[in-house]
Chains A and B, each alone.
Chain A
Amino acid sequence: MEIVSTKVNFYGDGAKYFGILIVNLLLTIVTLGLYYAWARAKNLQYLYGETEFAGSRFTFHGTGREMFKGFVKAIAIVLMLILVSQAGQFSGSKVIALLGGLIYTIGILLLIPIAIHGGLRYRMSRTSWRGIHFGYRGDLKELFDICIKGILLTIFTLGIYSSWFHCNLRRYLESNIRLGNCKFSFEGKGGDLFWINFKGLFLSIFTLGIYLFWYIRNLNHYSINNSRIEQDGNICSFKSSLAPGDVFVTGFIIYFLVVFTLGLGTPWAILRQMRMVLDNVELEGAFNPDAVIQTEENYSDATGDDLLSMLDIGLDF
């Protein structure tokens, strides 16, 4: 079969993005933070709109109103947990204080899978390409099992299991992502990730950080090269051509962009980093960009997405 390549390109414009971020920041400050949801929506709308696959741009459909509603719900949930732990602190009883702290910690841990599940459903449903929407079809209970098993084993193995946990999570999430009638999957193995992390940690120390550029490249390749998309029985692989030199040059530029402009260069730095990753991605195989059929449902609850942002968890798809 003929191998057709379908590239990803990123076109973000620094000056334009600077304007967007400044307006976002200004309105967020002036409204004492209330605008944050709208700012997030605009930010994603812009970045998705500047990302192109096979000649067509992505669209982010999420709105500030949806994200604000989600934000209010997410705040209520987190606030309730904080209140429980605070009430425990002020009760004067050590047992109750301990109990409050325990409820808080377990609550936050349980929130992680809920946030990932809801966040991914929302984010995928609100993303489209050529009018075809993405979707996440994962099951919350199965995700819970993976997370609980992963967290416990990570604790018992003093962190060693975390590579396998990360990999299992990624495999489960990605295998449940659809673009219309196309299905994604992830073929990475926990052992490979462990080895990359192990080498990354030790060689970076021994080479005084120089190996870091290879480490970042390896993580990038692990994440992208193991991703697949299946269209009508045809399996195509994503491929990243990121080289350690790219990481070095981009890192260098980003560092100076941020430091020497007292932070004003941040928008350019963000775009630069996105371009480094995205411009190096392509899809290999007989993928037909004209034959994707709409299948996914509309889903507009942004609570999970806001929880993710609050817990500072990034979904790097």
Chain B
Amino acid sequence: MTFDGKYFDGKSSAGYAAKIQLNSFGIQISYTDGQSGNSIEWTPDKIHANDFSSNQKIYLKYGEYPFQYLEVNDPRFVSELKESFPNAKFHKGAYNFLFSTGVMGLVALAMAFIGLLALTYFYILPAVGEHVAATVPIEWEKKLGDASFDKMVEGEKIDEANSKRMNEFFQQLHYKSDYKIEVVVVKDKIVNAFALPGGKIIVYEGILRTMNDSKKLAALLSHEFSHVQLRHSTKNLFRSLSSYMLLSVIFGDASGLTAVVIQNANQLKQLGYSRSLEEEADKNGLKLMKERHLDPAGMEGLFRALKKEEGNAGDVPEFLSTHPLTIDRINYVRKDVAKHNYTSIEDAGLDSLWTGIKSNLDE
């Protein structure tokens, strides 16, 4: 079968009308360049691959620089070419496979792509973030925590006397840790407390005012200490960082990433923990209290006091807004306590420290 096409010889832009035939050696091209008739032969191995050839119009590129071209507008030529030279590289472009699958192939690919992104975003990145967080040196965490600490207490008054008492109180709990824990009491009526990476714990006066015994304070500190010990902030930071990284790869925005790193380092406060991390801190705190023979009712009492605050003020206390539903927390604490029966021992040392803290608050 003979096809009509245009042949470009790589020397001039004049396209010569050509008769094209396929034979066992390759492609036979016969054309007239004005004066004389010519006939040349192309061997299939020197025809370049083309990823994006359409089925209507085919462009073949041949040989070394300057290349020769053949342009054929005949769908039958495409199929005959494939039949004659099924193993030639020129119609084996990687992307051609994709287009041969049609619309369904594209849709399937798009779905696979979105699926992969979702998988990466929701499972792989958090896991990677957590893994990285576990290997971060403590000094690094401390630096990060100190940076956010400075930012958070900026313009706030620190209650030095109560901070000192709080640290004594924490020491009396005798929790073992790789971190040097430092509790700071901030004079502010916010009902909240924060654990920063590296060991700093910020407690606002507002949350202390909702308490009426040492057990609740012990519960609060156990909870916050668990955040530090279990590296929750750092895990959180790396999770959101890796998510932003993925998003910035997709949207090609590297400068945005830098902004996020800076923002996160300064405002850990805004990140908030996920509910599962809060629950982990609750349960770990409870475990610590039991090992120390403290009354686990303190934990439940703390939640109840906060819940009451919720009812009084009309607004949800900040501590609760980012935490699991208070009623859920009361329930799982209660269940846990009921399951493991054990005795708690009153601790006069903690009680007297608490009295000191309380009276200082009231002054």
Contacts and interface: CB of A to CB of B under 8 A. Distances in A.
Interface in B2-41: 8-15
Residue picked from B51, B65, B67, most chain A C-beta under 10 Å: B65
A289 interface: yes
Contacts of B51: 42, 45-46
A131 interface: yes
A159 to B, nearest CB: 22
Nearest to A41: B51
A290 B12 CA distance: 7
Interface in B93-122: 95, 98-99, 103, 105-106, 109-110, 113, 116, 120
Contact of B15 (A16, A45, A56, A180): A56
A22 B66 contact: no
Residue picked from B52, B68, B98, most chain A C-beta under 10 Å: B52
A59 B59 contact: yes
Interface string A19-35: 11011011011000100
Nearest to A28: B249
Interface in B61-83: 61, 65-69, 71
A26 B12 CA distance: 40
A contact patch SS: mixed
B contact patch SS: mixed
A18 B95 CA distance: 12
Interface string A210-238: 00000000000000000000000000000
Interface string B338-363: 00000000000000000000000000
A97 interface: no
Residue picked from B13, B15, B110, most chain A C-beta under 10 Å: B13
Contacts of B103: 15
Given A19-B98, A19-B99, A26-B109, 14 more contacts: A25-B113, A26-B113, A46-B51, A59-B59, A59-B69, A128-B67, A131-B9, A131-B10, A133-B65, A289-B13, A290-B14, A292-B12, A293-B11, A294-B10
Q: Which 7 A-B pairs have the closest CB atoms?
A: A292-B13, A131-B8, A130-B13, A290-B14, A298-B65, A131-B10, A131-B69
